[in-house]
Amino acid sequence: MNQQNQEERTLIREAMDRLLAGQATASNGSLTVVALAAEAGVHRMALMKRHSDLKNEFYERVRSETQQIPEPEKRLRETVAKLKKTITNQNTELEELRQLVTRLTLANAVLTTQGKEASPEAVPAPAPDNVVPLRPPAR
């Protein structure tokens, strides 16, 4: 590891300590990677790419030392809860639609059967005046 990376790691660790102690000097004091990068004076992507182990260490320390859940994890948990609710609602709707299809199929069968039983040799009802048949009726 070169000297610059070593200096960045030292700055990040010092910034972690300040944030967890509630003594932020260069950031808003939130327990996020963005605030950690601002507090350390390093670019956020440097923290995410070159020092991902320190990012993970920071989140572990947030969990263990402050008994808080990190912000990204909170957002993910909220998203998962919303998605689970959506899935439950969609499954309920799907079941209702399946039951409706079953009821409509049974109603169709009953009506078809009743129509055949009522008059098997009956002449079909004449078409309303506003209906023009595509083919002339068979005689």
Residue 122 within any structural domain of the chain: no
Closest CA to 15 of 46, 1, 69, 2: 46
The domain containing residue 79 runs over which residues? 71-114
Same-domain status, 63 and 78: no
For the chain, the domain total comes to 2
The per-residue pLDDT for range 64-109, each reduced to its tens digit, is 887 777 777 888 999 999 999 999 999 999 999 999 999 999 999 9
The DSSP annotation for 62-128 comes to HHHHH----HHHHHHHHHHHHHHHHHHHHHHHHHHHHHHHHHHHHHHHHHHHHHHHH-TTPPPPPPP
Residue 92 within any structural domain of the chain: yes
Q: How confident is the model at residue 53 (pLDDT cuts 50, 70, 90)?
A: very high
Residue 104 within any structural domain of the chain: yes
Rounded to two decimals, what is the model's pTM? 0.51
Residue 81 within any structural domain of the chain: yes
Two tokens at 98?
A: 């399946």
